[in-house]
Amino acid sequence: MWSFSDIANELHIWLNKTFNPTLTLVIEMVIAGIAVISLFAVLGLVLVLMERKVSAWMQIRLGPNRVGPKGMLQSLADTLKLLVKEGLTPNGADKLLFNLAPFIAMIVAMLLMAPIAFAKDFQLWDLNIGVLYVSAVSSIMVISILMAGWASNNKYSLMGAMRSGAQIVSYELSAGLSILTIVVLTGSLRVSDIIQSQADGWWIFKGHIPALIAFVIFIIAVTAETNRAPFDLAEAESELTAGFHTEYSGMKFALFFLAEYVNVFIVCAIGATLFLGGWMPFHIGNWTGFNKVMDYIPSSIWFFGKTFFLIFIIMWFRWTFPRLRIDQLLNLEWKYLLPISMINLLLVTAMAILKWHF
């Protein structure tokens, strides 16, 4: 059957036959880079359209339906518009930092793509500390936001950046702790090991209630980490007009916009990998017939299906809830999520030691 790993292997063998090993490595890297960038572009277009459609249907509207069939080219048209717009740099802005910030946001998002397993045996870099790498690199995101807020020479931007700093730093904790629960259960930080450990059932099902709690906390924490409503205090439209990207326009704004969506994709992919079994198909005990049918669905579809399901949940949050206030946001983290996830981690550790999970 057709699969991503087969294509990758064929390509690898063919390249090895044609070129010498060094050149093969270089060519493979270039191909991977191009693949990541094109995935970026496609993800940006798809997620923006998805968000607009989801929001429209929740708000009893139709959503974009003019450009292309059923409005499917709307986000492409938006991108074209943003491309031809003038990228203004405000007076008094720190030009270097101002122009650098959106690229850092993008680079961080690209780096985060490395350890994600998109399909069976299809991964850019299966490093042995994959999960740790993700939580470490995603913290760099805050630097780009702080940079943008500081360099804009705008008070709204500055306040947005400061809020975002406090927010991302604190929500990293509970996101990290809920990742740890799965790491404790699996005993490995390697992404492929984590997925392999879910071959007989996803952690959300076989990890009992602690895994479920960890999943809920993870979803809340990553929603906050990616600055999405109800935790969008960094941009808080009605308070700070647009927060840290108030002064950005044209393609620089689009890069921030794209980075936000790609970040949402990445955290949802991590969530799907950790809790929903990554590319693992859905199996029920010993229903062999049912399991066979599930196996027949390609692993990449499983992965993207799960990821988009999580993305949908995060969009659902956004279009339902009002925004929190900054002190409530920090209260939620330090008084609710952090204690709960700490106790949860203890529970999971006990469970793992006593072998209560199946």
Partner 1 sequence: MFEEVGTTTEGDLIINVGPQHPATHGVLHLVITLNGETIKKVEPHLGFIHRSIEKMCESLSYRQFIYVTSRMDYLSAHINNHACAMCVEKGLQLEIPPRAQVVRVLMDELTRIASHELWWGAMAMDLGAFTPFFHAFRERETINDIMEETCGARLTMNYMVPGGVMQDIHPDFQRKVKEFIQLFKRKIHEYDEMVTGNVIFQNRMKKVGYLSAEDAVSYGCSGPTARGSGVRCDIRKYYPYEVYNNVEFEEILETGGDSFARYMVRIREMEQSVCIIEQLIDNIPEGDFQAKTKAVLKLPKGEFYSRVETARGELGVYIVSEGGTTPYRIKFRSPGFSNLSVLDHIARGSKLGDLVAMMGTLDLVIPDIDR
Partner 2 sequence: MFITKYIKEVYLGIKSLLVGMKRTGYYFTHHKEIITQQYPDNRDTLNLPERFKGEVVMPHDEKNEHRCTGCQACELACPNGTIKVITQSVLLADGRKKKAIDKLVYHLELCTMCNLCVVACPSDAIVMAQTFEHSVFDRTKLTKILNNPGSKIMDGIE
Residues that bind partner 1 (CB under 8 A): 55, 58-61, 155-156, 159, 163, 229-230, 232-233, 236-239, 241, 319-328
- Write down the least CB distance from residue 325 to partner 2, Å: 15
- Write down the least CB distance from residue 238 to partner 1, Å: 4
For 119, phi and psi rounded to 5 degrees?
Answer: -155, 180
- Write down the least CB distance from residue 155 to partner 1, Å: 5
Q: Which is nearer to partner 1, 9 or 320 (CB)?
A: 320
Q: Which is nearer to partner 2, 14 or 316 (CB)?
A: 316
Q: Which is nearer to partner 2, 292 or 335 (CB)?
A: 335
- Write down the least CB distance from residue 345 to partner 2, Å: 17
Percent of the chain as helix, strand, coil, to the nearest 5: 70, 0, 25
- Write down the least CB distance from residue 172 to partner 2, Å: 21
Q: Of partner 2, partner 1, none, which one sits near residue 57, judging by CB under 5 to 8 A according to partner kind?
A: partner 2
- Write down the least CB distance from residue 320 to partner 2, Å: 5
Alpha-helix residue ranges (DSSP H) falling in 187-323: 191-196, 203-206, 208-225, 237-240, 250-275, 288-296, 299-318
Cα 51 to Cα 59: distance, rounded to the nearest angstrom = 12
Q: Which long-range contacts (CB under 8 A, 24 or more apart) does 38-44 make?
A: 39/113, 40/106, 40/109, 40/110, 40/258, 40/262, 43/261, 43/262, 43/265, 44/75, 44/79, 44/257, 44/258, 44/261, 44/262
Q: Which is nearer to partner 1, 232 or 247 (CB)?
A: 232
CA-angle at 175, arms to 266 and 345, nearest 5°: 135
Q: Of partner 1, partner 2, none, which one sits near residue 54, judging by CB under 5 to 8 A according to partner kind?
A: partner 2
Q: Of partner 2, partner 1, none, which one sits near residue 159, judging by CB under 5 to 8 A according to partner kind?
A: partner 1
For residue 180, count other CB atoms closer than 10 A to its CB: 20
Q: Which is nearer to partner 2, 205 or 312 (CB)?
A: 312
110 in Cβ contact with 64 (< 8 Å) = no
- Write down the least CB distance from residue 324 to partner 1, Å: 6
- Write down the least CB distance from residue 340 to partner 2, Å: 8
Paired tokens of 86: 């003038």
Cα 315 to Cα 331: distance, rounded to the nearest angstrom = 23
- Give the start-end residues of each E strand in the chain: 117-119, 122-123
Look at strands 117-119 and 122-123 and give their pairing: antiparallel
Q: Which is nearer to partner 2, 33 or 339 (CB)?
A: 339
- Write down the least CB distance from residue 327 to partner 1, Å: 6
- Which has the closest alpha carbon to 341: 328, 354, 332? 332
Q: Of partner 1, partner 2, none, which one sits near residue 317, judging by CB under 5 to 8 A according to partner kind?
A: partner 2
Q: Of partner 1, partner 2, none, which one sits near residue 14, judging by CB under 5 to 8 A according to partner kind?
A: none
Q: Which is nearer to partner 1, 35 or 166 (CB)?
A: 166
Q: Which is nearer to partner 2, 254 or 324 (CB)?
A: 324
Q: Residues 38-61, buried b or exposed e (16+ Cβ, 10 A)?
A: eebeebbbbbbbbbbbbebeeeee
- Which has the closest alpha carbon to 105: 76, 139, 72? 139
Q: Which is nearer to partner 2, 271 or 281 (CB)?
A: 271
Q: Is the peptide bond before 230 cis (omega within 30 degrees of 0)?
A: yes
Residue ranges that bind partner 2, judged by CB under 8 A? 54, 57-62, 316-317, 319-321, 336, 340
Residue 278's region, left for phi above 0, alpha for psi from -120 to 50, else beta, is left
